[in-house]
Amino acid sequence: MEFDRAAEGIAPPGPDGYPEGPGCPLCGFVGMVATEPVAPALAIALCAIQHRGQDAAGMATFDDGAVSLHKDLGLVAQVLRREITATLPGRAGIAHVRYPTVGGGARQDAQPFTTRRPSMALAHNGNLTNLAELDQGLRDRGIRLTSQCDAEPILCVLADEVMMRAVVRPTTEDVVESVRAVLGRVRGAYSVVAVMEVDGQETLVAFRDSHGIRPCCYGQRADGAWMAASESVALDVMDVPLTGHVPPGHVVLMRAGEEAVVRSVAPAEPRHCIFEDIYFARPDSRMEPGRVLDVRARLGVRLAAVWKRSGRAVDVVVAVPDTSRPAADAMARELGVRSEEGFIKNRYTGRTFIMPDQATREAALRLKLNPIDEVFRGRDVVLVDDSIVRGTTMRRIAGMVRRHEPKSLHVAIYSPPVRHPCFYGIDMPSADELVAGRLPVADLETRLASQLGADSVTFLTGEDLTEVAGKGLCSACFDGRYAVSLTVEERNWILSDRRPETTRAPAPPG
Ligand code: SF4
């Protein structure tokens, strides 16, 4: 849990409604096709993934060939009120929550986006790496983008490809070949959901980039309704059993009451974002490696094994709330010690304003997270957290705990050191702001412990992640091995544009 951006008044709430984490999971979507109006169900399902974006929400429904759209800045409950969803007719639709990592987060950047030819609505989750190239290609064909949101170029390219194949009544083959062309033209990490008419029927279309970096799952209810979503919890709330995850480089076409059409278009080596399991996704969601809760617990077991090898004493394991609790509990179980609640979190602070000085920042942290003296005093304490990004928050937490005079204070992280930025849709700092990226690998743990004010820092390794979550992971922010290559210009553009300079948190000293 990283509080530094939150303490500076920058970060939106984390998965449980609180500012935390290495950044934000930047967007989530749901889509549904049924035999009854879908707007009410889409609004409920979207609430289940509100943690993926709080800046804007939107919904588009498809009825008799026409798209109805409503989107605005704000939370789902504010934007998609009942009187609004009542004006969105149709038995097929999509909905989206947005956290802007590209563009300034203006109203026109909210999703979904729509076209008239063909009549279609589309939403996505991810980051495109060749947006400038796509923009130029679309301009050459007389198509002008109206927003900074990279869902729009995906929609324009898809619409362009569909219209090149079928001016009226696109078929399944037309759409499959159009998505194949999209995956050839659009580079980056993206999962997409769209509604349109295919073979004369309302159809929900879902596809993922060739590596399947960003998540997308789908399922069918007993009454024949299909749903697709960024996280399986959106299906759970509507009682839709999970069929599976859209495979990398595949497209799935769904129509109410029919079998889904699953077609391979441009598959490559799977590289699912492991940070979804470590931090971003809700613990009750299921991603490719399994139930997120279980994955975090298994990472805690690995952490216990690493800790045992250190031979250090431990009296109590304390989770930095809330993401790390499954890992902390599992680690404590393995070590035969108690996992205790060491911090009480204030759930009503909301966003904070920019804190002018250190004392005020300390007070803001204390307001959000109050330590329990008896848990720490005179004991050998291990604090468990999901990741260390800038290190600012953990330094403040360690300083706060030190005032309660533990016998020793250790930090255990159930992921490897974050040493590289993410270009695939997770709002992480640039390399020079990553505390582990600035330290030599050889004595990283020792020097970081000293910077944080802890007696030791323990990380997992990339091998630990593979042992727990299997192969086929993207872990580029740990190891720098990017599945989708980028030019220097593309890297710089993503790093500079996705967070305007004025809102950047200052890099921690040292
Ligand atoms: S670089 Fe890290 S955060 Fe980004 S997609 Fe890969 S694993 Fe996820």
Instruction: Check pocket membership of 275 for ligand 1, CB cut-off 6 A.
Output: yes
Instruction: Check pocket membership of 475 for ligand 1, CB cut-off 6 A.
Output: yes
Give dist(CA 251, CA 311) in Å, integer.
Answer: 50
Fill in the DSSP letter of residue 11: P
Pocket test for ligand 1, best of 279, 419, 474, 498 (most atoms within 8 A of CB): 474
* pLDDT the model gives residue 8: 32
| In a shared domain, residues 276 and 297 | no
Average pLDDT over residues 61-85: 96
Of the pLDDT bands very low, low, confident and very high (cuts 50, 70, 90), residue 18 is very low
CA of 484 to the centre of ligand 1 (A): 11
Last residue of a domain, one of 280, 308, 333: 280
Report which protein residue has its CA nearest ligand 1's atom 6. Answer: 474
Cα R_g (the chain), whole angstroms: 23
* pLDDT the model gives residue 182: 98
| Residue 146 token pair | 């109206």
Nearest to 203 by CA among 267, 124, 259: 259
Is residue 383 a part of any domain in this protein? yes
Give dist(CA 59, CA 123) in Å, integer.
Answer: 9
Of the pLDDT bands very low, low, confident and very high (cuts 50, 70, 90), residue 11 is very low
Query: In CATH, what number is assigned to the domain containing residue 411?
Result: 3.40.50.2020
* pLDDT the model gives residue 386: 97
Last residue of a domain, one of 221, 253, 280: 280
Instruction: Check pocket membership of 287 for ligand 1, CB cut-off 6 A.
Output: no
| In a shared domain, residues 183 and 54 | yes
| In a shared domain, residues 72 and 185 | yes
Is residue 479 a part of any domain in this protein? no
Of the pLDDT bands very low, low, confident and very high (cuts 50, 70, 90), residue 358 is low
- Given the DSSP bridges, would you call strands 92-98 and 66-73 parallel, antiparallel or unpaired? unpaired
Give dist(CA 215, CA 209) in Å, integer.
Answer: 10
Q: Which amino acid is at 502?
A: T
| In a shared domain, residues 308 and 273 | no
Query: In CATH, what number is assigned to the domain containing residue 144?
Result: 3.60.20.10
* pLDDT the model gives residue 218: 98
| In a shared domain, residues 272 and 223 | yes
* pLDDT the model gives residue 260: 98
Is residue 10 a part of any domain in this protein? no
| In a shared domain, residues 180 and 106 | yes
Nearest to 436 by CA among 387, 401, 483: 387
| Structure-token match 């869902």, residue found | 151
Report which protein residue has its CA nearest ligand 1's atom 4. Answer: 422
Of the pLDDT bands very low, low, confident and very high (cuts 50, 70, 90), residue 103 is low
Is residue 267 a part of any domain in this protein? yes
Instruction: Check pocket membership of 7 for ligand 1, CB cut-off 6 A.
Output: no
Selected residue with higher pLDDT from 359 and 271: 271
Range of the domain at 352: 292-469
| Structure-token match 């029919």, residue found | 258
| 283-300 pLDDT per residue, tens | 999 999 999 999 999 999
- Residue 483 CA, closest ligand 1 atom number: 6
Residue 352 has pLDDT above 80, yes or no: no
Instruction: Check pocket membership of 424 for ligand 1, CB cut-off 6 A.
Output: yes
Which range (7-11, 144-148, 208-212, 298-302) has the least confidence?
A: 7-11
| In a shared domain, residues 272 and 319 | no
CA of 422 to the centre of ligand 1 (A): 5
Instruction: Check pocket membership of 183 for ligand 1, CB cut-off 6 A.
Output: no
Residue 505 has pLDDT above 60, yes or no: no
CA of 335 to the centre of ligand 1 (A): 30
**% residues pLDDT > 90 (the chain):** 76
Nearest to 415 by CA among 371, 486, 377, 469: 469
* pLDDT the model gives residue 447: 95
Instruction: Check pocket membership of 280 for ligand 1, CB cut-off 6 A.
Output: no
| In a shared domain, residues 235 and 347 | no
Instruction: Check pocket membership of 274 for ligand 1, CB cut-off 6 A.
Output: yes
- Residue 23 CA, closest ligand 1 atom number: 3
Nearest to 320 by CA among 262, 222, 248, 398: 398
| In a shared domain, residues 333 and 400 | yes
| In a shared domain, residues 268 and 355 | no
Other C-beta atoms closer than 10 Å to the C-beta of 359 total 9
Q: Which of 105-109, 345-349, 382-386, 483-487 has the highest mean pLDDT?
A: 382-386
Instruction: Check pocket membership of 422 for ligand 1, CB cut-off 6 A.
Output: yes
| Residue 183 token pair | 């995956």
| Contact between residue 242 and residue 232 where contact means Cβ atoms under 8 Å apart | yes
Q: Which of 27, 216, 273, 474 is catalytic?
A: 27
Residue 504 has pLDDT above 50, yes or no: no
Fill in the DSSP letter of residue 217: E
Is residue 498 a part of any domain in this protein? no
Residue 176 has pLDDT above 80, yes or no: yes
Is residue 93 a part of any domain in this protein? yes
Give dist(CA 248, CA 232) in Å, integer.
Answer: 17
| Residue 103 token pair | 């563009």
CA of 211 to the centre of ligand 1 (A): 12
Instruction: Check pocket membership of 154 for ligand 1, CB cut-off 6 A.
Output: no
Is residue 475 a part of any domain in this protein? no
| In a shared domain, residues 247 and 354 | no
Assign 3-class secondary structure to 341-392.
CCEEECCCCCCCCCCCCHHHHHHHHHHHEEECHHHHCCCEEEEEECCCCCCH
| 414-436 pLDDT per residue, tens | 999 999 999 998 877 788 889 99
| In a shared domain, residues 69 and 170 | yes
Report which protein residue has its CA nearest ligand 1's atom 2. Answer: 477
* pLDDT the model gives residue 1: 53
Q: Looking at the DSSP assignment, which residues form a beta bridge with residue 62?
A: 67, 92
- Residue 276 CA, closest ligand 1 atom number: 8
| Residue 325 token pair | 């609790």
CA of 510 to the centre of ligand 1 (A): 25
Is 156 catalytic? The answer is no
Q: Looking at the DSSP assignment, which residues form a beta bridge with residue 124?
A: 192
Which range (23-32, 161-170, 365-374) has the least confidence?
A: 23-32
Is residue 299 a part of any domain in this protein? yes
Instruction: Check pocket membership of 26 for ligand 1, CB cut-off 6 A.
Output: no
Q: Calculate the CA 321 to chain-centre distance.
A: 18
Average pLDDT over residues 393-406: 95
Pocket test for ligand 1, best of 274, 278, 292, 388 (most atoms within 8 A of CB): 274
Say how many domains are in the chain. 2
Give dist(CA 264, CA 250) in Å, integer.
Answer: 4
Report how far apart, in Å, the C-alpha atoms of 464 and of each of 274, 300, 303, 433, 468 are.
12, 11, 9, 25, 6
Pocket test for ligand 1, best of 477, 482, 495 (most atoms within 8 A of CB): 477
| Structure-token match 């008799």, residue found | 64
Give dist(CA 98, CA 106) in Å, integer.
Answer: 11
Report how far apart, in Å, the C-alpha atoms of 487 and of each of 139, 257, 276 are.
22, 45, 25
